[in-house]
Structure 1
Amino acid sequence: MRVLITAGGSGIGFAMGQAFAEAGADVWITDLDVSAVPDGWRASTVDVSSESAMAELFKEVETTWGGVDVLCANAGIAGPTAAVEDVALEDWKTCVSVNLEGAFLAAKFAAPMMKRQGSGAIVLTSSTAGIYGYPNRAPYAAAKWGIIGLMKTLAMELGPNGIRANAICPGAVEGPRMEGVLEREATAKGMTRDEVYEGYAKGTSMRSFVEARDVANMAVFLGSDAARLVSGQVIAVDGHTENPDPKL
């Protein structure tokens, strides 16, 4: 199995790479920093929002691998934390470009390769912010909702070619990126970091944050033959989010 993972240098993407490698897959990651790549993985430094860079990446993938079996379009950034009237248009564009356009470009270039081989699985990383509205995170939520619309369309469009598409919606995932979100939300809402953290945890029925490996395990399932008829689905890995706003 040949697996390409965008933003695989850390966090969820890195955990996906580990999980697929453990399942016996060949792993190729992209990121802005690929300095810490395990032995046996391929890696490319790529800006996922650049069409020319993504085109070059997929040319290299086809030359080296001859195709790709699983695409995990995982690249994303948190974007600004602010009331909608305080969000700068440039910050909006940057957030949407990386999160949504990056996923679109990955699918755009993977689709022809998968069509030629008559099979493939596309796994897009959305978010619970793509299921619920999300106060003070308008660009991020809009992009993650957009990913679900993209996924649903890919599933319908590519299904006749034997290609599946699904979206994973992680909840609050432990790690450095989430710590930044917690600090920014605490400042924006006049709360402490711990109060925001507790709000996120209490907003799930399982009263827990998510580990990156939990998301990775779902990606491996969706990329496997065990999920051969699972397509067009939005699957939350979030401990069942009940309330996306930790202040309420």
Structure 2
Amino acid sequence: MTVVESLTPRHGLRVLITAGANGIGLAIAKAFQEAGARVHVCDIDTQALASLPEGISHTVADVSKEEDVDRLFQDVVSLGGLDVVVNNAGIAGPTAGIDEIDNDAWTRTIDINLNGQYRVAHRATPLLKESQGLLINLASVAGRLGFAYRTPYAASKWAVVGLTKSLAIELGPEGVRVNAILPGIVRGPRIEKVIEDRAVKRGLSYAEMEQENLSKISMRRMVEPSDIASMALFLSAPGGSNVSGQALSVCANVESL
């Protein structure tokens, strides 16, 4: 196998991506499909699911609901197994001081960002053991840096990194690899809302808040959803076969938040 061939995922991989109808999840789904994978996604956005590229199957599912995850894995049976699972579902959570965040907002952020990843990993692990496959958990640079006014989000993402490293040790002897991808500031509607909310909290204009964010990135630029998809493909290719237990930042080097 040449080095170039080692960077190409095997044709016909069976791939599940949560929250795969928009943003980073959609970019990952399209990338795997283009690489010849059979792709199934779940999402709560029915309109986006209806607009998925032909050939990507889907389930309407909220990972914070046990019954939805059960239904998702009933549908995944049609793939005949799983080689790659991308735990992508997550929410931004509230932007507020810790004394202002109510219990429901905190609990919902943790339930989707962390407990949702548990629910999917819990159901996917037997299938990944069969295929000696790969679990990719989406965390964030907020999983390695402090993030004022975004404590539930940061706490959940630090926990995802811990979940990833623990599962890599647990499942490695059975041939299953587990890694986390830590996106930085990813261009798109979601980060625009985060910047807007933080600007209001800080009493800054949107442009000032955006510039402050970029000034904390050594390359002074946002990353694209396709950058995250490229990392997922690499981890799924033969060249990534000895990468496990890693928290891989794709962020243009975010130095602080």
What's the TM-score bracket when you normalise by the shorter of the two chains? over 0.9
2:206 is the alignment partner of 1:207 = no
Residue 58 of structure 1, CA deviation: 1.2
Q: Is the 8 A contact 1:122 1:223 kept in 2?
A: no
Write the distance in 2 (CA, Å) between the matches of 1:66 and 1:240.
39
Letter in 2 for 1:221: F
Task: Give the aligned residue type for 2:97.
Answer: A
- Pairs within 5 Å for 1:165-184: 165-184=178-197
SS in structure 2 at match of 1:243: coil
2:161 to 148, 169, 172: 148
Structure 2 counterparts to residues 110-129 of structure 1, below 5 A? 110-117=124-131, 119-129=132-142
Establish whether residue 35 from structure 1 lines up as the match of residue 47 from structure 2: no
Counterpart-to-counterpart distance in 1, 2:174 and 2:17: 22
Quick one: distance in 2 between partners of 1:8 and 1:201?
A: 27
How far the C-alpha of 1:120 sits from its partner, in A, is 0.6
State the Cα deviation string for residues 13-33 of structure 1 (Å, max 9, x = none): 000011111111111111012
Q: RMSD of the alignment, in Å? A: 0.9
Who is 2:76 aligned against? 61
Contact 2:146 2:256 in 1 (8 A): no
Q: Structure 1 residues 96-105 or 53-62, which shifts more?
A: 53-62
- Percent of paired sites with the same residue: 43
Counterpart position of 1:48 = 63
Q: Which residue of 2 aligns with 1:26?
A: 38
Cα shift at 1:52: 1.9
SS in structure 1 of the partner of residue 182 of structure 2 = strand
1:60 CA displacement: 2.2
CA distance in 2, matches of 1:243, 1:116: 40
2: distance between equivalents of 1:97 and 1:235?
Answer: 23
**Equivalent position of 1:198 in the other structure:** 211
Q: Which residue of 2 aligns with 1:216?
A: 229
Residue 109 of structure 1 aligns to which amino acid in structure 2? Answer: R
Query: 1:39 corresponds to which letter in structure 2?
Result: E
C-alpha deviation, 1:56, in angstroms:
2.1
Where in structure 1 do 4 or more consecutive aligned residues deviate above 4 Å? none
| Partner residue, 1:11 | 23
CA distance in 2, matches of 1:58, 1:112: 12
Q: Are 1:160 and 2:173 counterparts?
A: yes
Q: Please tell me the residue identity of whatever aligns with 2:22.
A: S
| TM-score, with length taken from structure 1 | 0.96
Give the letter for the 2:224 counterpart. E
Please give the alpha-carbon distance, in whole angstroms, between the structure 1 residues aligned to 2:51 and 2:112.
22
Aligned with 1:232 (options 228, 242, 245): 245
- Normalised to the residue count of structure 2, the TM-score between the two structures is 0.92
Shift of 1:116: 2.7
Aligned AA (2:214): A
CA displacement 1:179-199 (0-9 Å, x = unmatched): 110110000011111111111
2:4: which partner in 1? none
Partners in 2 of 1:98 and 1:23 — Cα distance?
Answer: 29
* Offset of residue 150 of structure 1: 0.6
C-alpha displacement of 1:53: 1.4
Note if contact 2:38-2:79 (Cα within 8 Å) is conserved in structure 1.
Answer: no
